[in-house]
Amino acid sequence: MLHSHPRASERFDLKLPALVEVIDPVQKKTYCYPMTRDLSGHGGYFYTQNPLPKDTRIKIGLILEINKSMPADEKGHFFLEFTGHVIRAEEDGMAVSFDRNYQHIPIKFPSKSG
């Protein structure tokens, strides 16, 4: 009999663009721009045509929109940055485990009306 085990934390189906930077002091900076598939407090899956190899240390940046139902000039955003490592690379993307550190910074985009 198979038993299903709940994940350590709930995953959310979020499609967000991400900025991923390889953390390697010897190698020149490498970036990729994947789209998230799902995220939790412990990790997530990132769609990319060029997944990074397993165990690659990375820094991840996401921009999250808050107050979605508000008019465009009243919406808020914040930048979330954290580190982690690739735990699985697949043809269409990579699974990432997050470290327990993060930094979040409120940001305000300039108004389009001048």
Res 3: pLDDT: 38
Res 113: pLDDT: 55
Is 6 contained in some domain? Answer: no
Res 49: pLDDT: 92
Is 113 contained in some domain? Answer: no
pTM for the structure as a whole: 0.76
Res 11: pLDDT: 78
Is 89 contained in some domain? Answer: yes
Query: Can you list the pairs that 67-70 forms with residues at least 24 positions away whose Cβ atoms lie under 8 Å?
Result: none
| Structural domain span for residue 44 | 18-107
Is 103 contained in some domain? Answer: yes
Res 54: pLDDT: 95
> Widest CA span of the chain, in angstroms?
64
CATH number of the domain within which 70 lies: 2.40.10.220
The continuous run of DSSP H or E covering 89 comes out as strand 76-90
CA dihedral over 16, 20, 86, 80, signed as positive or negative: negative
Considering its fold, how many domains does the chain have in total?
1
Res 16: pLDDT: 86
Res 110: pLDDT: 64
Is 5 contained in some domain? Answer: no
Is 95 contained in some domain? Answer: yes
Per-residue pLDDT of the chain (114 residues; tens, 9 = 90+): 443 445 556 777 888 889 999 998 777 788 889 899 988 889 999 999 999 999 999 999 998 887 777 776 667 788 889 999 999 999 999 999 999 888 877 777 666 555
